[in-house]
Structure 1
Amino acid sequence: MLIRETAASDPLATSAPVVALLLHGYGASERDLAGIGDRLTAGLPWVSLRAPLALPQGGAAWFPVTVPGSPDPQPVVEATEAIWTWVQENLLPDARIVPIGFSQGGLMASQLLRTRPERVAATAVLGGFVLGAAQPADPLLRRMKPEAFWARGDADRVIATPAVERTEAWLPSHTTLTARVYPGLGHTIDQRVLDDLAVFLAAAVPLGASTI
């Protein structure tokens, strides 16, 4: 089950026309990215979701880890549909989302874009990658080229090299990409990422004035 956490100062987040959707990484929870949500202005309310797969060691995941960087497509498809079901049941019918995901959540952010791009205002993939299997909206995205942000560290040893190379090829051909590679950054998010994400959101999201 997807469980949400919203900004305490913005209890009507799910009634907004544009909502940032925060998607955590493997083994974390809906509270992991709340720090990002707390730094979004009231102009871009946020919702953080817990992934549906509970892990024995604690935390949650969007899909099982099989080959690192190359997950089985079917569990990813199922997780994607679970998120869209939550969106349909909890947000306004015509609301657009801004998926912001870290690691596995970054892949899920790209999945939302690759399945229903008309519902996505902009996409941010932080320390994540894209699925190798073709997705329903890929041909449309080649024409649309929506705004996307991809941030990763050059010292990240978690995301496998083939996944990084796949993402380097896919994102520029399907999106209008803002890409950043941070020297010395491992598999995490630091202030440099947040600062650049703020600039991206301010330019790409219709509400315009969001800052982190």
Structure 2
Amino acid sequence: MTETTYKPVVVWSKPEAERAGTPLLVLFHGYLSNEQDLMGLVPGLPAESTVAAVRAPVALGPGYTWFPLMHEADFSLEKVTKAAADLWSWLDSVKDRHSSVSLLGFSMGMAVATALLRHRPAEIAAVVGLSGFAVPAGGDAFFDDEAVKAARPPLFWGQDQADPVISADKVEFTHAWANEHVDLTKVLYAGIGHGVSAQELAHVKEFLTYKVLNA
């Protein structure tokens, strides 16, 4: 039996003929959502980038999930790393057509984006996390946090301190991990709850323009 490359459901902002040589920005949606959810952000992102929004692999309720919620009995780090490893398999099939690869994750999608970064940090130009979190590595060798710390890749993290979804322990861990390992740009937004504001999206565009496009 031959191993086949993982092929997730992906929606693209540009037709294939217009993607070559452009910076790739991959979007990861949140829990119970789908690949269309974050495409509404595209008009507010750098026009030079090709945006690819990926569907999580596990169908659940009205949408999809990357892995079980962390407080659920069937959660495991193995399920997190399996999702990330599969995504790297897909990224390896597309990344060479692009000038760089950056990642943007909303909510649970930020956990996915940071897991990808923590596996092969040298290959990721920048990460954006919106109303999300990173997962504790628990000693799993998949997470090469020492390599992340050495590289100090740029990470933008936008959050409302009153976010009703992301628990305080997740925020506390993520803040501690980010301060130690990445070049962190952390911005607090009052009144956005578990969402994304126009002001935040403008900050994300500025961050990507400066860190990825060097403009």
Q: TM-score over 0.5 for the alignment?
A: yes
- Deviation readout 1:49-103 (Å, 9 max, x if unpaired): 0000111x221111011417xx521110010011111111233277531100000
1:89 aligns with 2:96: no
Is the partner of 1:98 in helix, strand or coil? Answer: strand
**Amino acid in the other structure paired with 2:117:** L
Contact 2:19 2:97 in 1 (8 A): no
Cα distance in 1 for partners of 2:31, 2:130 equals 13
Q: 1:132-171, aligned counterparts within 5 Å? A: 132-133=136-137, 134=139, 135-171=142-178
In the other structure, the counterpart of 2:28 is 23
Question: How much identity, in percent, do the aligned residues show?
Answer: 32
Cα distance in 1 for partners of 2:209, 2:70 equals 37
TM-score scaled by length of structure 2: 0.88
Contact 1:16 1:45 in 2 (8 A): no
**Aligned match for 1:51, one of 22, 42, 56:** 56
**Aligned match for 1:6, one of 12, 16, 23:** 12
Q: 74-83 or 11-20: which moved more?
A: 11-20
Cα distance in 1 for partners of 2:11, 2:17 equals 12
TM-score scaled by length of structure 1: 0.89
Q: 1:16 to 1:47 in 2, by over 3 A?
A: farther
Q: 1:33 to 1:12 in 2, by over 3 A?
A: farther
Is the partner of 1:132 in helix, strand or coil? Answer: coil
In the other structure, the counterpart of 2:3 is none
Contact 2:20 2:98 in 1 (8 A): no
**Amino acid in the other structure paired with 2:10:** R
Structure 2 stretches lacking a partner, 5+ long: 1-6
How many residues are matched?
Answer: 204
Is the partner of 1:177 in helix, strand or coil? Answer: strand
Cα distance in 1 for partners of 2:12, 2:188 equals 29
Q: 45-54 or 58-67: which moved more?
A: 58-67
**Aligned match for 1:110, one of 100, 107, 114:** 114
Aligned Cα root-mean-square deviation (Å): 1.9
In the other structure, the counterpart of 1:178 is 185
Structure 1 stretches lacking a partner, 5+ long: none
- Deviation readout 1:103-124 (Å, 9 max, x if unpaired): 0101111111100111100001
**Amino acid in the other structure paired with 1:145:** R
Cα distance in 2 for partners of 1:42, 1:11 equals 15
Cα distance in 1 for partners of 2:177, 2:184 equals 10
Q: 1:179 to 1:47 in 2, by over 3 A?
A: same
